[in-house]
Chain A
């Protein structure tokens, strides 16, 4: 019956051997990836197009996905980098005035394999208890080729993440009332970051991830933004070295998520993988300086080891598990955060740029 979206069967097999049976939507085929979950109740289109999900299979804990369809305005990047999509129920009659299509067609268009009608809470709890693990999502009968698929799962590793998602060319986005010039190093930059920067009067130049200090200096920006992105931060040796050089330019820097982690590594810090990551729109972060806690949107599988960066103050801390959520550097004009920047953070960045301008 098409009515109840129960088309062909689909399966998810986890590294621990647990198999979930559901129905297929989106693309058909087989994909392997790292199974993660996000607790955000809206923003499925933004999540799917967030490059930080590169190589991962996303599980939505909220059961009703696709309610308002998809549109051409809410993309965070041009592509879907996630390998698979797991939901409890998708909506075949979406409703919103900006809706241009349903999630099923969207996944098909982007070649993403989806599965629905599984107990996403049970799956989430497995990931929570055991940590993120690899998985396959497939529309083939998983029982027929279990060993083969398990081999695929075991050998899978997310690699070359930043290189894959970063754009190879320079792009420019102008603000309406521009006051600043900002260079954004694209490690997997989201459109929302560019819009946020535009909103505080930054003309934005997005440059490839491997752009070196010299080239950045040529742009003579008022500020440098190190964007979000996917994968294990420590894998990016060249970029980390590059950031060390960029830091010496003494230009105000704002690091976000992966950008935050890479800056920490460039300054002698350490990163580690979180058991099951922080993905959602309700993570509380404590601002030590303002003695205030606020709720953030975030998507990270790794974190900066608390206290590992000597020349920075840990000014933001996760209110749930006390992990590091942000650093202010002492020797360079730099602030880095693990979460999506809000008005306050953008304000801090603008202040840094203003100060720099005055000093000039």
Chain B
């Protein structure tokens, strides 16, 4: 069936802020969907609260609403826009759940809106545990023995029948939130209680634990004609028990015989046909390792993280095809974009293997529980393509930004054999490194398999790596050794380090094409990965195309992690678009499968490979670019600058020397002196002793951070000598190559500026002001554009300083500067001569296409030429408030108190004509439920006790019951604010925990003087609020803002919905 004629205007719901379990893959899917719809000539209306996405770009849809993703808001927008259809399956669980609620309430029917992509019946059968079981039973597909329960008692009864361990899976939660494995009744009671509370329908599934079975996934696509294909099979390195998002995954499945493979493939097709999915669907299976028994674990009838991975792994654009299916096409009518002359109704064949490696935030959250289980913890991932598993794994380990080029982890190398053996039992993020270390120590594959249940195939491959490394270290580095090591994915630098000798030759990588058909048909996909062969398909491709255009490589930002999120992909993609528009050939290098940048039709060519010096050298050699761009790929790309410059590559935009001048402490100080700009006093130190001495001179509190970081990694405010000792201990755990910076901490107003400079003129699209005072990482602060509370003088000083810094640093392109305003003086905290987190949102609200302008500047077109004057651009008519979003419920034992180290995983934006509405929208979008009555608990450090008074007063005036721990309560009571005293955590019940458990508290305002160690009371209280989904504010400034907004008494219904394409 061709395009349905009854569809003219489609509403697309995005997935909202980036949280663990729902990341950039939905921007990729949503962007493909919007494009596909527009190509069909349909009008597209988009809602997404995440401003850093490409899908919320004016170019992607006809109407773009960056508004909270709540039922009320979606209804309101449907009333305004009157779309005839809604596409539900491309916006993750968020988009799907909203669509289903609208359908269930009858709202869609009432308003004449058709639901595309998923039938409510299909969704019900796939997501409701009992309905799913019944459906599987009906078609003879085995499920794991399980029972849907709605009370803890029933959970315990069922577990007694089937025996422990059991898995708890809450219904309708993201990434398995609230689930877990219980080994006994006590644990079950805990997990089930929590799971029931988190499930929006108070329902959990108790399931027999089948840990140790193989976990296999299939990505399936089906259309309305019941054409049904599998795009890709995937096998988890980690057996059942570890969430697939936290597992190393290999595609295709490798340890299955054809009989097993066909059995599961048939099952997948069978399931998807029965569910009548129209679009993409993910099927997860558990396969018994020593029999033909299998069980269906889960089915996701929508595009997902796995479908993004499968798309990138095969070249088959699942989201695009799923969108076309949703609007009426069938698979045999959709042209295969790769070959250009065959149809989408085929199964990709690949002639390489793909490895997905998760990226966790444990390097940042040092006290977080690292154990992996049924609840996903990874913030992002990388993908690597190779002609062998070893090759792909070596590429992956270089890509995950742990500073590694092999599986040797220093920390583990220091451990004794016994410790390593013991550590094999830990299922955590370091397991594959421990396995590698164990194999090196001579622990057998069989022993490791018995402990981990990881298939011997994988373990033997790791063993190959250990043996290769031993061989490299033993005797002369022959050409044979070199060739084999290269084929296994080792870099020259790694080979030299391991062998202790110079490489006998230097072999550069060549590139093969990802073509969906294993070379069977001639394809034109400009999508390449490196191998160690002779034939260079990329080179042939370039020669054949012979476009005559100048070539520019844009380096991407690698895996999504805290501090380096989707915003850099937004910048990279925009840079590519501008380059293409300006008549250049734009080439992308990146390794993150979730992103738009790694969609093969974003750039003119895509290299899916690690972003290390040596990997990049090979790409440069093949491409011979006229220039490269590093300033949009975050720290990942910036790190390459020096090396590229040394290679003689033409770096477009700000030079390597300028970047160094901004990052090198001494050169930076010199620069500031020259510009006459003050910054908080500070020192550079290498040891704990030096740090203590520096702190003594500066006076506490001091801010400590390593140089060359992004996202405030390992940044703290030290209030005492012991804080410094703790910090230096942690930071010296990993090799200390770069010094530690120690600065006087000024608790002033933080202001942030993104500017564009061409070397002569500079443009400031907008000045942003943080609600929280300095000391809270800018990524975790609520940021307001335009700055509302600055005096004229301060504003002018900031503009002037920005001018001086941009020109003196010879910035060509973007620069991000952070200031602190303290005692009416402006100090510079940081200068980053590159794109920043705020670029997408400022571009969207001011209407200044920052990346576009910056790219054109790099190509030689001045600001004047582009029609912009120097200085601050006129303020927009709208206020935009960026509110950070955290994933604390996924990360156990992480203190939720905000500080200089960034903790948020994503962000939302509130846009309105006035500040209050904008902030309210932003808070709602970020998941604050803004309850207007109830209880507020205050428990703050002594230095905050005076300041908290006026906040408490505001809450009291709003009619909230005030609770406080004894110290805080006495200050409140003394100041005529009636506060109920609650006992401390360690005191007898009912204590503070009881109140939190009993639902008496709706807001917690908590600050603490001490560190982030999980055993502290303050940390325990804050963790409890996460478990209980209680709004916890750890900055008095945030609390104050929330109180003001509550006092306003408005609802979202009273507020105008803003279509940003009209700004």
A positions within 8 Å CB-CB of B: 1, 3-4, 6, 37, 39-43, 45-46, 61-64, 67-68, 71, 73-74, 88-89, 91, 93-98, 119-122, 124-125, 128, 276, 280-284, 286, 291-295, 319-320
11 A-B pairs with CB atoms under 8 Å apart are A3-B464, A4-B464, A4-B484, A40-B349, A41-B349, A42-B261, A89-B388, A93-B457, A128-B519, A284-B347, A293-B331
Contact across chains for B257 and A71 when beta carbons are under 8 A apart: yes
- Residue B471 at the chain A interface, CB threshold 8 Å: yes
Asked if B291 lies at the interface with its beta carbon under 8 angstroms from chain A, I say: yes
**Chain A residues with CB under 8 A of B348:** 282
Which of A41, A61, A62, A64 is packed against the most chain B CB atoms within 10 Å? A41
Q: Which residues of A contact B227 (CB under 8 A)?
A: 292-294
- Bound Cα distance from A343 to B389, whole angstroms: 35
CB-contact partner of A39 in B289, B343, B457, B517, under 8 A: B517
Do B346 and A282 touch (CB < 8 A)? Answer: yes
A96 touches B522 (CB 8 A): no
Q: Which residues of A contact B262 (CB under 8 A)?
A: 42
Measured CB to CB, the nearest residue on chain A to B533 is A119
Among the 9-residue stretches B248-256, B586-594, B665-673, B760-768, the one with 4 or more Cβ atoms under 8 Å from chain A is: B248-256
Choose from B291, B445, B471 the contact partner of A3 (Cβ within 8 Å): B471
* The residue from A45, A73, A320 contacting B521, defined by CB atoms under 8 A apart: A320
Kindly supply a per-residue 1/0 record for chain B positions 305-332, scoring 1 wherever the CB is within 8 Å of any chain A CB and 0 otherwise.
0000000000000000000000000011
Taking CB atoms, residues of chain A closer than 8 Å to B343 are 284, 293, 319-320
Q: Shortest CB–CB separation between residue B348 and chain A, in angstroms?
A: 7
Measured between C-beta atoms, what is the minimum distance from B222 to chain A in Å? Answer: 11
Asked if B561 is at the interface of the complex by the 8 Å CB criterion, the answer is no
Extra contacts, 20 of them, besides A6-B484, A39-B520 (Cβ < 8 A), are A3-B471, A39-B351, A41-B350, A42-B261, A61-B520, A64-B353, A91-B457, A93-B445, A93-B457, A93-B463, A95-B460, A96-B255, A119-B533, A120-B351, A121-B351, A128-B522, A284-B332, A286-B332, A293-B227, A295-B230
A94 touches B261 (CB 8 A): no
Query: Contacts of A42 on B, CB cut-off 8 Å?
Result: 256-258, 261-262
Q: How far is the CA of A91 from the CA of B586 in the complex (A)?
A: 39
Residues of A within 8 A of B534 (CB): 119, 122
Other-chain residue from A39, A286, A292 in contact with B518 (beta carbon distance below 8 A):
A39
Q: Which of A37, A42, A71 has the most CB of B within 10 A?
A: A42
**Residues of chain B within 8 A of A91, CB atoms compared:** 457
Question: Of the candidates A93, A122, A280, A295, which one forms a contact with B456 in the assembled complex, judged by CB atoms under 8 Å apart?
Answer: A93
Residues in B with CB closer than 8 Å to A4 are 464, 468, 484
Looking at B252, B349, B468, the one whose CB has the most chain A CB atoms below 10 A away is B349
Cβ contacts under 8 Å, A71 to chain B? 257
Q: Confirm or deny: B229 has a beta carbon within 8 angstroms of a beta carbon on chain A.
A: yes
Chain A contacts for B252, CB-based, 8 A: 41, 62
B226 interface residue per 8 A CB criterion: yes
Shortest distance between the CB of B739 and any CB in chain A (Å): 43
B261, B463, B519, B521: the one within 8 Å of A121 (CB): B519
B256 cross-chain contacts in A, Cβ below 8 A: 42, 68, 96
Rounded to whole angstroms, the CA-CA distance of A122 and B537 in the bound complex is 9
How many Å from the CB of B574 to the closest CB on chain A? 34
Docked CA distance A89–B258 (Å): 18
Min CB distance B376 to A, Å, is 27
Contact between chains at A122 and B533 (CB < 8 Å): yes
Contact B535 A122 (CB under 8 A): yes
Q: How far is the CA of A91 from the CA of B522 in the complex (A)?
A: 29
Known pairs A96-B257, A128-B520; A63 contacts B353 (CB<8 A): yes
Give the complex CA separation of A350 and B512 in angstroms.
Answer: 46
Q: Are A67 and B388 neighbours in the complex by a CB distance under 8 Å?
A: no
Interface size range on B against A:
35 or more
Residue of B nearest to A342 (CB): B266
A89–B387 contact, CB under 8 A?
Answer: yes
Do residues A67 and B255 form an inter-chain contact, with CB atoms below 8 A?
yes
Q: Are A62 and B350 in contact (CB under 8 A)?
A: yes
Q: Is the CB of B518 within 8 A of A93?
A: no
Report yes or no: B259 in contact with A282, Cβ–Cβ below 8 A. no
- Contact between A293 and B332, CB atoms less than 8 A apart: yes
Please pick, from B258, B290, B463, B464, the residue contacting A97 in the complex, using a CB distance under 8 A. Answer: B290
A46, B575: Cα distance in complex, Å: 49
- Hey, which chain A residues are within 8 Å of B517, CB to CB? 39, 282
Shortest beta-carbon distance, B231 to chain A, in Å? 10
B482 to chain A, nearest CB (A): 13
In this complex, the member of A4, A45, A91, A93 whose beta carbon has the largest number of chain B beta carbons within 10 angstroms is: A4
Please tell me if the beta carbons of A280 and B457 are within 8 angstroms of each other in the complex: no
- B253 nearest CB neighbor, chain A only: A42
- CB neighbours (8 Å) of A128 from chain B are 519-522
A88 and B387 contact, CB distance less than 8 A? yes
Shortest Cβ gap from A123 to chain B (Å): 9
In the complex, B345 has a CB within 8 A of chain A: yes
Chain B residues 456 to 472 lying within 8 A of chain A, measured CB to CB, are 456-457, 460, 463-464, 467-468, 471
State the CA gap A113–B1030 with chains docked (Å): 69
In the complex the two chains form, is B388's CB within 8 Å of A64's CB?
yes
Considering only residues 228-269 of chain B, those with a C-beta below 8 Å from chain A are 228-230, 252, 254-259, 261-262
B585 contacts A by Cβ under 8 Å: no
Say whether A94 contacts B349, CB under 8 Å: no
B257 touches A98 (CB 8 A): yes
What is the CB-to-nearest-CB distance from A237 to chain B, in angstroms, rounded to a whole number? 32
Closest to B252 in A: A41
> Would you give the shortest CB distance from B88 to chain A, in whole angstroms?
26
Say yes or no: is B225 at the interface (Cβ < 8 Å to chain A). Answer: yes
CA separation between A61 and B332, bound complex, in Å?
Answer: 25
Bound Cα distance A295, B226 (Å): 12
Task: Report yes or no: B258 in contact with A43, Cβ–Cβ below 8 A.
Answer: yes
Task: Tell me if A125 and B519 are in contact (CB < 8 A).
Answer: yes
Distance from A164 Cβ to chain B, minimum over Cβ atoms (Å): 25
For B335-368 the 0/1 string (1 means CB < 8 A from A) is: 0000000110111111111000000000000000
A222 to chain B, nearest CB (A): 27
Q: Which residue of B lies closest to A297 (CB)?
A: B262
Partner of B349, one of A61, A96, A286: A61
- Most chain A CB neighbours (cut-off 10 Å) among B289, B352, B464, B519: B519
**Are B352 and A63 in contact, CB atoms less than 8 angstroms apart?**
yes
Does B743 have its Cβ within 8 Å of any Cβ on chain A? no
Report if A320-B342 is in contact (Cβ < 8 Å); known contacts: A97-B289, A97-B290: yes
Question: In the complex the two chains form, what is the Cα distance from A62 to B521 in whole Å?
Answer: 15
Taken together as a complex, chains A and B put the C-alpha atoms of A320 and B342 apart, in Å, by 5
The residues of B that contact A68 with a CB separation of less than 8 Å are: 254-257, 457
Please list the 6 inter-chain residue pairs (A to B) with the smallest Cβ-Cβ separation, ordered nearest first.
A43-B258, A282-B347, A93-B460, A39-B349, A95-B457, A61-B518
Contact B512 A74 (CB under 8 A): no
Check B455 for interface membership: any CB of A closer than 8 A.
yes
In this assembly, does B480 line the interface, its C-beta being within 8 Å of a C-beta of chain A? yes
Least CB distance from B789 to A in Å reads 62
Across the interface, B346 reaches (CB within 8 A) one of A122, A283, A292, namely: A283
Task: State A325–B517 Cα separation when bound (angstroms).
Answer: 20
Complex CA gap A295/B518 in Å reads 16
**Nearest neighbor of B349 in chain A, beta-carbon distance:** A39
Give chain A residues whose Cβ lies under 8 Å from the Cβ of B261: 42-43
- Judging by beta carbons under 8 Å apart, are B290 and A61 in contact? no
- In Å, the complex CA distance between A342 and B262 comes to 12
Contact across chains for B389 and A64 when beta carbons are under 8 A apart: yes
List, in ascending order, chain B residues with CB within 8 A of A276's CB. 520
- Closest CB of chain A to B1031's CB: distance in Å? 50
* Complex Cα gap A288–B455 (Å): 44
A281-B347 in contact (CB<8A): yes
Quote the shortest CB–CB distance from A280 to chain B (angstroms).
6
CB nearest to A294 among chain B residues = B227
State how many angstroms separate the Cβ of B332 from the closest Cβ of chain A: 4
* Residues of chain B contacted by A63 (CB below 8 angstroms): 351-353, 387-388
Q: Which residue of B lies closest to A320 (CB)?
A: B342
In the complex, what residues of A have CB within 8 A of residue B259's CB? 73-74
Residue pair A3, B467 in contact (C-beta under 8 Å): yes
**Beta-carbon contacts under 8 Å, B463-502 to A:** 463-464, 467-468, 471, 480, 484
